[in-house]
Amino acid sequence: MKKRVALVLGSGGARGYAHIGVIQEIERRGYDIACIAGCSMGAVVGGIYAAGKLDEYRDWIESLDYLDVLRLVDVSFRLGAIRGEKVFGQIRKIVGEINIEDLRIPYTAVATDLTNQQEIWFQEGCLHQAMRASAAIPSLFTPVMQGNRMLVDGGILNPLPIVPVVSSHCDLIIAVNLNSTNQRHYKLPVIERPAAFKSRFNSLINSLGSKMPFRRTQAEQLLRLEKEALMAEAAEINPWIESAEPEAQQPAAAPERDGAPKSATGSFIIDNVGPASLLDLINQSFEVMQTSLAQYKIAGYPPDILINVPKRVCRFFEFYKAPELIALGREIARDTLDRYESERDS
């Protein structure tokens, strides 16, 4: 009999493509994905899977080169660098008009309501709107207005939404964390592309970052939400923290003799250059916040299987790397499930 899996897909920008490879490996082994909770790109991939359209979506994103991605960038200089209408318009074409309650499996998308400073769970209503709101990465995609609520990426408060599936009565909870700071031995597969197009893409991102206004009030809201979330989580699950994050208690390591810098957890910093633009700076700050919050969620609600995708493998907005990230997700899921099954059978 197939084991029923509750799948949790975390946020992490372009690294969310790795979720597709994870799903492929889970299904290849005969597990039955019975429900999904997702945040940001995890909500997008999870929603498309629940709608039965993941193969069509994968075929589309794997066909995109630098120039195709540039054509999908509808620039906005208001509350985000990109309106997202072209990208999500294509997703709407693939998925069609469908409500969450009509999906083949239970589904939850997590977003953040900036107006009321709270986490929002979408478990019914328009699937497209739920995915769009959950994936409204601050500074990159414009927020979604719903009545008097301003909805943005759920990763601000809950980058790994395990709680929505805890009561699912599945055999296993598998969570995919896209903000891991370990797993140093995994590398992104190399797929050669024309250097000219890559240069154009990087130039565009840097240009968006240098010209993009970022209102102080919005920045203050994000920082306040981050602080409140961390304090609430620390108070709730404090007994877990010492055992779950031993490295976090260590002081920052001194640089190695060969000059290669190390992070506070002892892992080598691959890119020793600072943010190239305001957009890059905001996204790097957002990732630091998500990494910390994800650790609290994992410690408080440990999944049966945790699949860790290292955040260093690509930048937040490198959405043209779908083939590489899908392959990497498949590889990490294979190794993780091999270890789990070996320990279970021993």
Residues annotated as part of the active site: 40, 153
Closest CA to 239 of 178, 163, 181, 302: 302
Largest Cα separation within the chain, whole Å, is: 59
3-class DSSP assignment, residue 334: helix
| Burial (0-12, 13-18, 19+ Cβ within 10 Å), 101 | exposed
Sequence-distant (6+) residues with CB within 8 A of 8 are 36, 37, 38, 42, 160, 161, 162, 165, 173, 174, 175, 176, 303
Give me the sign of the Cα torsion angle 176, 182, 185, 187. Answer: positive
User: At a CB cut-off of 8 Å and minimum separation 6, what does 223 contact?
Assistant: none
Cross-strand bridge partners of residue 109: 38, 122
Q: Determine whether 149 is exposed, middle or buried from the number of CB atoms within 10 Å of its CB (0-12, 13-18, 19+).
A: middle
- Give the pair of three-digit tokens for residue 252: 């920052």
**Residues 36, 105: contact at Cβ < 8 Å?**
yes
Instruction: Give SS3 for 173.
Output: strand
Structure tokens that stand for 45 in this block: 């991939």
Query: Roughly what angle, to the nearest 10 degrees, separates helices 54-62 and 41-50?
Result: 130
